[in-house]
Amino acid sequence: MKKMFFLFFAFIALSWSLGAQSFYNKYHDRRWIASAGTGTTSYFGELNNPGKYFDTKPNLNVGLERKIDSRWALRTEITWYQIDGSDAEANDEGRKARNLSFKSNNFEINIEAIWGVFREGKRFYQRRAVNPYLFAGLGITYFNPKTDYEGVTYSLRKFTTEDVKYSRTTIVLPAGFGIKFKIMPQLNINIEAGYRTTFTDYLDDVSTVYINTENITDPVRVALIDRGPELGFPPAEPGTPRGNPDAKDGYAIFNIKAEYYLPTDLIFKPKVPKQGSGKKKYRKMLQ
């Protein structure tokens, strides 16, 4: 976590330095915005403890935004995030007897539409000091749930603990809200919270029922399917619930971001004509 916060504040310092070196361009507005942030991720699924709404698992985020008009914008982001869950932390004795757990390092890429509550000025530096906003979009996430057993970390998907070969990617629908704080003409600090609706119930490798293990010869697979015997409980009967297939898994992200308004000529460099007949025409374009 300390390294992530160091990188975050380093981005702010760099933005401040760039802003001090070059002020806004009077002829061109800045409509491209680069961002970087960090925060926490909370997982919601079969291995989440009911009532636990916030977690301390970290995430890192970078993005690029394009202003459309005084209220609307489009952005794309890449996020690395961690999630985990464990029956050992549950308050329910039945869940503790189930004794399942997972951890996962995941990636998400998305594209989102952003709507600002207040209209911004004609130029980027004329925006409001504080502006709440809403966002929603479409994305895809990569996940790979793992667990520890007898001192070894195993990728659960390859053991098909419920006889289901699920994909490591799923579509996600991000939606949420945030607040932009104008720190200087080129820099915002954002506080943002959003939830990701997914189309999978296997972020945690738990969804349906216990399967029959009589004909399974791999002892590690048998142990990962039913971990109750590790605590002295009898093996679960095949067909008894292991998870809840009626509720898909999801996760929430809380972030603090730094946004920097990129100079126009950094994205699209104007073509300067050679000295001569085209010089007057170029000057006319700038007027």
Burial (Cβ within 10 Å: 0-12, 13-18, ≥19) of residue 123 = middle
Distance CA 201, CA 209 (A): 13
- Run of H or E residues at 49: none
Q: What is the pLDDT of residue 201?
A: 98
Q: What is the pLDDT of residue 21?
A: 45
DSSP codes of every residue in 112-142: EEEEESS---SSGGGS-SEEEEEEEEEEEEE
Which residue's entry shows tokens 């636990």?
Answer: 52
How many domains, the chain?
Answer: 1
DSSP codes of every residue in 21-38: H----SSS---EEEEEEE
Which residue's entry shows tokens 């070969």?
Answer: 165
> Which residues constitute the domain of residue 193?
2-286
Tens of pLDDT, residue by residue, the chain (287 residues): 555 545 544 544 554 444 444 444 444 679 999 999 999 999 999 999 877 777 789 999 999 999 999 999 999 999 999 999 999 988 889 999 999 999 999 999 999 999 999 998 888 999 999 999 999 999 999 999 999 999 999 999 999 999 999 999 999 999 999 999 999 999 999 999 999 999 999 999 999 999 999 999 999 999 999 999 999 999 999 999 999 999 999 999 999 999 999 997 665 555 555 555 455 554 544 44
Partner residues linked to 61 by β-bridges: 37, 79
Which contacts (CB < 8 Å, 24+ apart) does range 124-130 have?
124/24, 124/29, 124/30, 124/31, 124/67, 124/185, 124/261, 125/24, 125/185, 125/186, 127/180, 127/182, 128/182, 129/181, 129/182, 130/179, 130/180, 130/181, 130/182
Partner residues linked to 103 by β-bridges: 84, 146
Q: Are strands 101-116 and 72-86 parallel, antiparallel or unpaired?
A: antiparallel
Q: What does the DSSP 8-state code read for residue 200?
A: -
Distance CA 131, CA 180 (A): 5
Distance CA 275, CA 103 (A): 63
Residues 6 or more apart in contact with residue 24 via CB below 8 angstroms = 30, 123, 124, 125, 185, 186
Domain containing 192 — which CATH number?
2.40.160.20
Tell which residue, 89, 185, 188, has the closest CA to residue 133.
188
Partner residues linked to 137 by β-bridges: 112
